[in-house]
Structure 1
Amino acid sequence: MRIQYLVANVCNTTDNTNVHFITLLKKSICKYDNVEIVNQFPDIIHICGDWSIHTIRQINKIIHHEIPVIFTCNNGLNVFSKKKQHYQTYIMRNIISKVSAIQVCGPLEKEKIQVISPSSNIYVIPNPIISNTINTNEIIAQMIKTYKTIINNHDTDKKEIIKNKIHTIYTPNDEISIICSRFLYIKYLLHKGYIPKQILTETSNMLKSKQYDEDEMKKLIKKLEIYDFISSLLYVMNEKSELTEGFMPIESSNDKLSDIIADRIKEF
């Protein structure tokens, strides 16, 4: 699991609670197996900040990559002021609508947020820096579990969106539908930042083992408007996963896009 941590706050003072919290997570979570802190190609982004326009701007910079984002505001209850209630509600709804989940430090904060956005995906995990109800080992274990849940849910949602997109123009749930779903999923992974080598290998094996009508496959690929992408992808699959021309539904193409795809294939 690859995690990117960001702090979106106005001041850069070292005694900032959000900075301390992220520092604690980064220092402790990397000790766990199969966990890596990265600055690019993350599986999830954890951003800490205030309920502010500055945080919205920071989130806007990252959400176009379609990577799941969890947001934490360690001073969450301080924003609930009657004088600025309308503005604060606007800011909070904006942030909540852009991220996959919210982490709060206590049940009261969760209740306040649910009043503003009842359908919010909220996880209550205390912060050991400001609370004595949890220690570092406990919060790390809870955060890892939370990250995995968010990543899995995000991936499941993307696959469901892809499935529905195909079924709007191609109703049979057959091998063609399955293969094209995989092609669209790989396109999503490319947009996200990287394509695991294992996914490429699995897709090659899928094309080698499944029987389908090539003419119908070509028609669906064209309707999905991914013909050029698939053509470039197949060239990379020939280079990286030994997919031969006899198992390709369309001709492969060696071009700029195939170079981009090849560069995004990662072993991790």
Structure 2
Amino acid sequence: MRILHFYPGKDDMIARYVDMLLNVMAEYVDSRKSTDLSELKKSIKQWKPDIIHLHGCWEFTTFMALIHADARNIRYVFTPHGQLEPWIMRQNYWREKYPKLFLYQRKILKKAYSIIAMGSMEANCIKNYGWNNRIETVRNPLITETITTVDAGCQVFAVYNKVLNSDVLKLMDDKTITALSVLIKAGQALDEKWISDKEYNIVKGIGQNDWFRLLLYSYQEEILSTVMKGATILQFIIPDIDFSSVSFYLPEKHHKSRPLSSKRNSDANMEFVTVIKAAHERISHKKLTLSNVLELSSFLRTAIVQDDKIERYLREEELSEFAGRLMQVAADFTCLDVGFMPVTSINDRATRKIKRIITKHLEI
């Protein structure tokens, strides 16, 4: 893990705090610090940090550091260092704090993956703004004896891990995402004969960190059991991890996945149409999930349907094109073969929009 600390360099207490974190985390985190933007840009380009930790409020250079991090898809953690405490906020509020708050300080708060407050009063103050609820409290051992430097370092490190365990799809490369689709296919087919040598080698080629992210994402999307079955079918030894004990952030408006069909229909053709109708309703509310796509592909791999009847039913419901787009989505996310598709797949702009809705389910 590579952490780049940034602060403007004017506050001696912040400088001491950053040095303290660098020292206590030296054995398990690769950390550096920057105090000016040119140094920050150089470190981002050459060192490629996993997280940028911004310190202190009311400095425009901190906002510029955010812009550089955001442009390169680097996550950032923000520590106000008590500068959002109510008594400080009241000082020169209308002449200084209010303009800065709404020009850039608000954006720093809103876009942070996590905000580390140093006390409950500051945490409550930040929460009351309503701009970001991802707030952690870690006391400053330089000003209180209620926590040691070692414990403070461990708690901040836990926040870093929580940030990197959130919205993990963005941290997965194309190869790992393809490996996930192959594992889903194997987990639904329940037979390795359906997996080509090329597909098998893609899964074989991913590393330990890739496995962790793949499995964590599967857990968060409620498809872990299928992925685990796929790994077992393909005889991969995977990490034994209790994901219920792994901390991560979910979007503020996160919704759990609900099945598309709650009961089986004796007519498989009508059940397929029912699933398509339910998916269409979900997509209109931007609530279609990866778990729903697996439900659809699992049904198509096992059900016996009549293409002509389905085509007629879909035409009557004006869902023919939407069903075709879902076939493409199922192919992309679960490696569903053309032979299982009762309608021709459609890959167009609307299809890509459906895929974006699905992939944004866990987006922070």
What TM-score does the superposition give when structure 1 sets the normalisation length? 0.56
Task: Evaluate the alpha carbon distance shift between residue 201 and residue 69 of structure 1 in structure 2; reply closer, same or farther with a 3 A threshold.
Answer: closer
Aligned mates of 1:88, 1:61 — CA distance in 2: 19
Q: Is the 8 A contact 2:114 2:134 kept in 1?
A: yes
Pair 36,51 (structure 1): closer, same or farther in 2 beyond 3 Å: same
Q: Is the 8 A contact 1:102 1:121 kept in 2?
A: yes
Q: 2:31 aligns with which of 25, 33, 37?
A: 37
Kindly tell me: are residues 152 and 201 of structure 1, through their superposed partners in 2, closer, same or farther at Cα, counting changes over 3 Å?
closer
Q: Give the aligned residue type for 2:207.
A: Q
- Residue 98 of structure 1: CA displacement? 2.4
- Work out whether residues 181 and 335 of structure 2, in 8 Å CA contact, stay in contact via their aligned partners in 1: no
Give the unaligned 5+ runs of structure 1: 163-172, 179-195, 225-268
The higher radius of gyration belongs to: 2
**Aligned residue runs from structure 1 range 82-97, under 5 A:** 82-84=93-95, 85-90=97-102, 91-97=104-110
**Sequence identity percentage:** 20
- Counterpart of 2:166 in structure 1 is 153
| Partner Cα distance (1:107, 1:200) in 2 | 35
* Separation in structure 2 between the aligned mates of residue 131 and residue 220 of structure 1, nearest angstrom: 59
The alpha-carbon distance between structure 1 residues 80 and 31, as it changes in their structure 2 partners (threshold 3 A), is farther
- For 2:199, the equivalent position in structure 1 comes to none
2:157 aligned partner: 144
**Contact 1:48–1:72 (8 Å) recurs in 2:** yes
Residues 93, 117 of structure 1: 8 Å contact kept: no
1:134 aligns with 2:147: yes
1:133-173 C-alpha deviation (Å, 9 max, x unpaired): 211011011111111111101425x389x9xxxxxxxxxx9
Query: 1:28, 1:214 → 2: CA distance?
Result: 55
- Work out whether 1:59 is the aligned partner of 2:70: no
Change (3 A) 1:2 1:197: farther
Q: State the partner residue of 1:70.
A: 77
CA separation of 1:197/1:3 partners in 2, compared to 1, >3 Å: closer, same or farther? farther
C-alpha distance in structure 1 between counterparts of 2:155 and 2:209, whole Å: 32
Change (3 A) 1:176 1:129: closer
The 2-side partners of 1:200 and 1:145 are apart by 17
Q: Structure 1 residue 17 and structure 2 residue 13: aligned? A: yes
Query: Residue 101 of structure 1 aligns with which residue?
Result: 114
Question: C-alpha distance in 2, partners of 1:129/1:174?
Answer: 49
1:1-59 deviation digits (Å, cap 9, x = unpaired): 222222235x3xxx611111111111110123xx2225422222212132332211121
Name stretches of at least 5 consecutive residues in structure 2 with no aligned partner.
33-42, 175-179, 186-204, 215-230, 235-333, 353-364
1:8 aligns with 2:13: no
* Alpha-carbon distance in 2 for matches of 1:42, 1:149: 16
Q: 2:8·2:59 contact (CA, 8 Å) conserved in 1?
A: no
Closer, same or farther in 2 for the Cα pair 1:80/1:124, shift >3 Å? farther
Q: In structure 2, give the amino acid aligned to 1:62.
A: A
Deviation at 1:211, TM superposition (A): 6.4
Rate the CA distance shift 1:174–1:45 in 2: closer, same or farther, 3 A. Answer: closer
- Cα shift at 1:177: 9.0
Further displaced range: 17-26 or 115-124: 115-124
Instruction: Kindly report the root-mean-square deviation, in angstroms, between the aligned alpha carbons of the 2 structures.
Output: 4.1
The 3-state SS of whatever aligns with 1:153 is coil
- Matched letter for residue 131 of structure 1: T
Is residue 26 from structure 1 mapped to residue 22 from structure 2 by the alignment?
A: yes
Distance 1:63 1:174, change over 3 A: closer
Q: Distance in 2 between matches of 1:201 and 1:152?
A: 12
Contact 2:56-2:80 at 8 Å conserved across structures: yes
TM-score (norm 2): 0.43
Secondary structure of 1:138's aligned partner: helix
Q: Give the superposition deviation at 1:60.
A: 0.9
